Amino acid sequence: MNLTCLKSGIWQAELRVPQEARPVIGKTRFAKSTGTRDKREVVLRAAPMLKRWQSDIELAKSDPQTLIAKQAQRKAQQAFRPLSQESGVAEDHLAWLRDLPPSKASKYEAIEWGSGIPLPAYMESFIQSHYTKPDTQSEARRYVLEATTFMPTLESLTKLNAQRWLTEEEGKEPSARRALKTMQKATGYLAEYVAWLQYRNLIDQSLANPFRELHYPKTLTRPKKYEALTYGEICVLRTAAARKGDDLMVRYIDIARFTGMRLSEIGALTSASSELIDGIACFRVRSDAKTVASANRLIPISNRLQSLVGLTGLDMQNAENAVGKRFGRLKRQVLHEGDSRSKCFHSIRKFVVTTLEQSGISEGIAADLVGHEKPNITYNVYSNGSSLGQLQEAIQALDDKQSIA
């Protein structure tokens, strides 16, 4: 017999089936999880498996008809056996815990289960019977485990505990609070789990499903989709990108903070995107930009930005999607969790607009610079827009407010 350690750290028992016994047994080897990471425990658990497998092999050689009858009997018993008696469940209600990576398992090992059955005891059987897509299975597993911190056992499945889960979410800082739809999805998975437990007669069928008809606080909504990054946060992100050697991201950040351009607009920039008009170096945004107000607009380039990114040979590689994803990972690494959830690359653009407002730049000029529709219908319809000199003053205001290289 062989003992193999799987990627999860769980040990699996295996035994090769001899060639002459394979036609009757119907497989080339026996294999079964021991459900433990403990090297000492695995030997004890594997012993009865080995004994049964060896018995089957001997029967396959000496009395194949008896073995075939036994196999049919086992299948019939398995089909009609209550779930609470299935191998790995009645024997050990904490099998799910040992299947978790050690870093996640530690969160639940401290829970006092008492004489109750842990809420996730039947979780894997439920998930495997209900969902086929790996992403959906993973999501259902995550929410059942999360609910375990509020109702650790099947006996604690009450409306009060379910509502307490929502109440605690409501009490979080707005930036850390999950959206209403997210919590509705979470409680939806739990409602299905409870209904399945009742169907399998694993909990009282007369129990009112605690995850149905919950009161969802109105405050369970996300804050604004994007919040402005502060100048200090931009500095931290730029420095972190530079340390990682991500020079392309550094250039994206620099262009964004000194112009307010959108990520997609930056991605389209090449050396052909810059022009010299009346002695002022400018970026010309491509004509297929996001909005009419964005298209064919000129953005002056400060001397400082020119020295940082260079205009000769400039090529931003249409890498906005890749840079956006890397930026998302970076901000989660270097910013506080609450600060990072509501901020993304677009938040640099928010910083620019905020800085322009605080510098006294008129809303119309700011709108022309960043490609927003004019706030005033008269200006929007009849005006030819801000002069290049006015736009340059706005760019200079951004330059003056930023002091890092």
* Model confidence pLDDT, tens digit, residues 214-262: 888 776 655 456 789 999 999 999 999 999 999 999 999 999 999 999 9
pLDDT given for residue 281 in this prediction: 94
Q: What is the pLDDT of residue 178?
A: 80
Between the ranges 34-43, 329-338, 346-355, where is the mean pLDDT highest?
Answer: 346-355
Is the pLDDT at 105 greater than 80, yes or no?
Answer: no
Whether residue 360 is predicted with pLDDT greater than 70 in this model: the reply is: yes
Average pLDDT estimate for 392-397: 94
Q: How sure is the predictor about 5, in pLDDT bands with cuts at 50, 70 and 90?
A: confident
The model's pTM is: 0.47
Residue 305: the pLDDT is 94
Which residue did the predictor score with more confidence, 194 or 117? 194
pLDDT tens sequence across 166-183: 888 888 877 677 878 888
- pLDDT in the model for residue 199: 85
Please write the tens of the pLDDT for every residue from 15-30: 888 888 888 888 888 8
Of 296-310, 372-386, 389-403, the one with minimum mean pLDDT is 372-386
CA–CA separation, 108 and 126 (whole Å): 20
**C-alpha distance from residue 201 to each of 125, 147, 204, 207, 363 (Å):** 14, 21, 7, 11, 65
Which superfamily, per CATH, for 231-401?
Answer: Intergrase catalytic core (1.10.443.10)
Q: Between vectors from CA 337 to CA 180 and to CA 7, what angle results, nearest 5°?
A: 90
Average per-residue pLDDT for the chain: 81
**Which DSSP string corresponds to 304-331?**
HHHHHH-STT-B-TT-HHHHHHHHHHHH
How high is the pLDDT of residue 68? 79
Average pLDDT over residues 160-171: 87
Question: Would you say 26 and 19 are in contact if contact means Cβ atoms under 8 Å apart?
Answer: no
Question: What is d(CA 291, CA 262) in angstroms, rounded to the nearest whole number?
Answer: 11
- pLDDT value for 396: 93
Distance (Å) of CA 40 to CA 2, 14, 36, 53, 81? 15, 17, 9, 21, 30
- pLDDT at residue number 36: 67
Sign, CA dihedral 327-227-286-290, equals positive
Q: Band of the pLDDT at 82, cuts 50, 70, 90?
A: very low
| % the chain with pLDDT above 90 | 30
Tell me the β-bridge partners of 270: 315
- Per-residue DSSP letter, 48: H
Integer angstrom CA distances of residue 252 from 23, 285, 300, 344: 65, 15, 16, 13
**What residue spans define the domains of the chain?**
2-80, 95-105+118-199, 231-401
State the Cα torsion 252-254-255-261 to the nearest 10°. 80
Pairing of strands 2-5, 298-300: unpaired
Read off the pLDDT of residues 126-157 as tens digits, 9 standing for 90 and up. 988 888 877 788 889 989 999 988 888 888 89
